């Protein structure tokens, strides 16, 4: 038996693929450094975070669930101490936030979400991020932006 959370998970993946068609989905977003360079160059992934009871007074179970959206940029290989590496880092930083704002704007737009079939959630929105993180994987430098996407939905009480 499939519930709305499964559909929401699939919908989130579809929306991100649609909004960022040149990006590659990370193999394992819980451990992004395990992805290969192709996926890290312009990567994205979704992890499932904490959830809570929505505590709404309706005859359904309301749920709040957070997802983490990871966006990555590979910023250098062996030439990490050059001016070109510095410029690539600065460009990568800006591009991550540009990608984030594209997604945040579309998450806020219920019209957009409904047009791509995202009808299982009553609310989907960008919640927050923790700024840029840097990860080194061998000679590869990776910038990661982790954003929280908050989803509210309900499930029928057909027990």
Structural domains of the chain ordered from first start: 4-156 (3.30.2000.10)
Spell out the per-residue pLDDT of the chain, length 159, in tens. Answer: 577 788 888 888 988 999 999 999 999 999 988 777 767 789 999 999 988 777 766 677 788 889 999 999 988 765 667 788 788 889 999 999 999 999 998 887 765 556 555 667 777 888 899 999 998 877 778 899 999 999 888 776 765
Question: From the CB of residue 11, how many other CB atoms can be counted at a distance below 10 Å?
Answer: 20
The residue assigned the tokens 């360079």 is 37
Number of C-alpha atoms within 13 angstroms, CB side, residue 119? 4
What confidence score (pLDDT) does residue 79 get? 65
Interval 12-58: pLDDT, tens: 898 899 999 999 999 999 998 877 776 778 999 999 998 877 776 66
Tokens of 37: 């360079």
Q: β-strands 140-156, 123-137: how paired?
A: antiparallel
Check if the beta carbon of residue 68 is closer than 8 Å to that of residue 152. Answer: no
């Amino acid at each position: 038996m499939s519930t709305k959370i499964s559909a929401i998970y699939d919908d989130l993946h579809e929306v991100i693929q649609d909004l960022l068609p040149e990006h590659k989905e990370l193999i394992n977003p819980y451990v992004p450094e395990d992805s290969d360079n192709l996926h890290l160059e312009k990567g994205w992934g979704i992890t499932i975070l904490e959830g809570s009871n929505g505590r709404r007074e309706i005859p359904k179970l309301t749920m709040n669930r957070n997802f983490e959206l990871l966006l990555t940029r590979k910023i250098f290989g062996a030439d990490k101490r050059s001016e070109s590496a510095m410029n690539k880092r600065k460009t990568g930083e800006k591009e991550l936030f540009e990608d984030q704002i594209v997604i945040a704007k579309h998450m806020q737009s219920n019209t957009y979400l409904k047009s791509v079939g995202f009808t299982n959630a009553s609310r989907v929105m960008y919640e927050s991020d923790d700024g840029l993180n840097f990860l080194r994987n061998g000679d590869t430098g990776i910038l990661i932006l982790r954003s929280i996407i908050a989803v509210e939905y309900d499930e029928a009480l057909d027990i």
